[in-house]
A and B are shown apart, each in its own frame.
Chain A
Amino acid sequence: MTIDPDLQGRSYPAGETYSVGREAIRDFARAIKATHPAHYDVAAAAALGHADLVAPPTFAIIVAQRADAQLISDPSAGIDFTRVVHADQRFVHHRPILAGDQLVAELHVDQVRAMGGGAMITTRAEISTVDGEATTTTTSSILVRGEDQ
């Protein structure tokens, strides 16, 4: 498979809405061994001034990877998922993600660089509520290894 060099600059519009549930926040927090009470206890979150449970700083990866899936599963992109390695990741939070948020993500392919027989692809997911309030910008680079790597 060959990575389409024209991927750079491509965008994918917001797909399905992701509804942030309290149990999803609790499950994700448990999965990364986060113990802060603001992830589990609504009263503890309220004591810090938050309207509901606060998602851990990396929770947005769920929404970002769903958006990435649009690119990775797009046959015209030419990406072999089994050869993908996560190279870097960044989360910029415009406001914390809270239980009850209805989120959508628009995906942008910011950069495609040839690396040996493979490619390094940098994507950016702009995550916002369905009402258009920006919550998080995630940036992710994946290395798609070439056949000989």
Chain B
Amino acid sequence: MTVSLASLEVGQHIGSATVDITRTDLVRYAGASGDLNPIHWNQAFAEGVGLPGVIAHGMFTMGAAVQLVTDWIGDPAAVVDYQTRFTKPVVVTDTTAQPGQPGAVVEVTGVVGQIDTERSTARIDLTVTSAGQKVLVKAQAVVRLA
């Protein structure tokens, strides 16, 4: 592992990442996760239940966002606790006819929120936004360090 507990300070920035999302990504996530709710792939259905359009699975955004932490810490198994609240949906526009064009963009940044020397853990607080709005709130990943 490349990060040691002693090297960390509360408030320290761990990095940032950008996640581009297309409708194809949502279909892929639906298949891989087994969550086939049509609000994540069918425009008419999503609008019919009062949504502004097709929205990303909250679990897609949560899963994609924590990568910043696993890449920084160097081992996905170091993440021992990860939680979030889902506040705003990420609306993904249909860019199927414009290859390479994302239908939504999610921005992730992380800072060290708390250090627990007794348990050898650090809490990373993630800020996750799309179109200028927070889409995940209280997104916190606890990592165990050597």
Contacts and interface: CB of A to CB of B under 8 A. Distances in A.
Nearest to A34: B67
B64 A32 contact: yes
Interface in B52-69: 58-60, 62-64, 66-67
Nearest to B32: A31
Contact of A27 (B32, B62, B74, B84): B32
A99 B82 CA distance: 20
Interface in B28-78: 28-29, 31-35, 37, 49, 58-60, 62-64, 66-67, 70-71, 74-77
Q: How large is the interface on B (under 10, 10 to 19, 20 to 34, 35 or more residues)?
A: 20 to 34
Contacts of B25: 31, 33
B137 to A, nearest CB: 9
B83 A50 contact: no
B14 to A, nearest CB: 15
Nearest to B60: A32
B33 A61 contact: yes
Contacts of B37: 81
Interface residues of A, number: 37
Interface string B10-25: 0000000001000001
Given A36-B71, A61-B59, A31 B77 contact: no
Contacts of B63: 28, 31-32, 34, 56-58, 61
Interface string B86-123: 10000000000000000000000000000000000000
Given A88-B85, A91-B81, A62 B70 contact: no
A60 B19 CA distance: 22
Contact of B83 (A33, A66, A91): A91
B6 interface: no
A146 to B, nearest CB: 13
B135 interface: no
Contacts of A33: 19, 25, 64, 67
Interface in A47-85: 48, 50, 54-58, 61-62, 65-66, 81-83, 85
